[in-house]
């Protein structure tokens, strides 16, 4: 009894398609896990945004305290160097505000595409490993 060479080729093709499907399923599972990680990171970002909001409110209160300190020192030097005191405090506050605004704008423009490249590559891998029927190969 001889073996049919076509049967052996068919079983190898079936095995390869099954292995390809298994790898495709694994890649899909990894993709879902990465998407879940992205959702969790978005939730963490919202938590950090709340933290930053409270921090910003605290900084505004501290800044108001500095303004009142500047006013106090200006009034204290009112008789001798009031214009110098006002000029120095104005320059300091404007410089600090300008530098901080420039830094905030730079961070805002940078943005973040967390895991975008990884997810795109996993989509490519999944599409490449997805089993295809014989009609699409022709």
Read off the pLDDT of residues 16-62 as tens digits, 9 standing for 90 and up. Answer: 888 888 888 888 888 888 888 888 888 888 888 998 999 899 989 98
Of the candidates 96, 88, 93, the one whose C-alpha atom is nearest the C-alpha of residue 67 is 93
Mean pLDDT in residue range 98-127? 78
Mean pLDDT in residue range 55-82? 89
Polymer length of the chain: 138
Helices (H), strands (E): how many in the chain? 4, 0
Cβ-contact 107, 130 below 8 angstroms: no
| 19's tokens | 């292995």
The model's pTM: 0.45
Say what the pLDDT of residue 136 is.
53
């Amino acid at each position: 009894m001889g073996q049919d060479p076509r049967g052996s080729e068919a079983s190898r093709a079936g095995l390869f398609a099954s292995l390809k499907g298994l790898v495709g399923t694994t890649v899909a599972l990894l993709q879902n896990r990465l998407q879940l990680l992205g959702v969790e990171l978005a939730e963490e970002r919202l938590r950090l945004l709340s933290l930053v909001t409270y921090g910003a409110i605290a900084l505004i209160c501290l800044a108001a305290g500095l303004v009142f300190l500047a006013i106090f020192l200006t009034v204290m030097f009112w008789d001798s160097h009031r214009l110098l005191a006002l000029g120095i405090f104005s320059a300091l506050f404007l410089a600090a505000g300008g530098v901080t605004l420039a830094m905030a704008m730079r961070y805002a423009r940078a943005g973040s595409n967390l895991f975008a490249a990884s997810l795109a590559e996993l989509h490519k891998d999944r599409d490449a490993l997805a089993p295809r029927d014989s009609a699409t190969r022709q």
